[in-house]
Amino acid sequence: MSVFCVDANFCPDCGNVLPLPGASDTVRCARCSSSFPIAAREIHSTVVFNPAEQSTLALEDVGDAELKGPVIDRRCSSCNKEGMIYHTRQMRSADEGQTVFFTCIHCRYQEKEDS
């Protein structure tokens, strides 16, 4: 009689995690040496991609939309006025710094800075 809840990933006798099945028809528990038949399982997965037009926003689409975000004291290299809005994105791998995007609140010039 099983002491633990029956789950194909755990030994019903001792509760230890069972190893991944190999070429044989059974799996042996590393802790109590009990042997169990492999239950056939099917795994289904679905990948849904967002449409390209939703994931990228063209500058023309922004147009007269209100700029939102924190304003910092940074001089725009296009109009030479103070005040830019910024946001950050992780564009590269996780062990590298974020990319900071700046937008001028006066002329809407955009620039980026890799950190």
CATH of the domain at 96: 2.20.25.10
The rounded distance, in Å, linking the Cα atoms of 102 and 56 is 17
Which strands form 82-89's sheet, in the order they lie side by side? 71-75, 82-89, 99-104, 110-114
Considering the domain architecture, whether residues 1 and 42 belong to the same structural domain is answered as yes
Mean pLDDT of 73-96: 89
Give the chain's domain count. Answer: 2
* Domain presence at residue 88: yes
The rounded distance, in Å, linking the Cα atoms of 21 and 14 is 18
* Domain presence at residue 57: no
* Domain presence at residue 60: no
* Domain presence at residue 54: no
This prediction's pTM: 0.42
Domain that holds residue 101: 71-114
What's residue 41's pLDDT?
Answer: 61
* Domain presence at residue 98: yes
* Domain presence at residue 53: no
* Domain presence at residue 99: yes
Bridge partner list, 75: 82
What's residue 107's pLDDT?
Answer: 92
* Domain presence at residue 2: yes
Contacts of 28 (CB under 8 A, 6+ apart): 19, 34, 35, 36
The rounded distance, in Å, linking the Cα atoms of 18 and 33 is 10
Cβ atoms of 102 and 74 within 8 Å: the answer is yes
The rounded distance, in Å, linking the Cα atoms of 41 and 43 is 7
- The pLDDT tens digits for 27-61 are 888 999 888 887 666 667 788 886 765 544 444 44
Q: How many CB atoms are closer than 10 A to CB 77?
A: 11
What's residue 111's pLDDT?
Answer: 92
Q: Could you tell me which residues are annotated as the binding site for Zn(2+)?
A: 11, 14, 29, 32, 76, 79, 104, 107
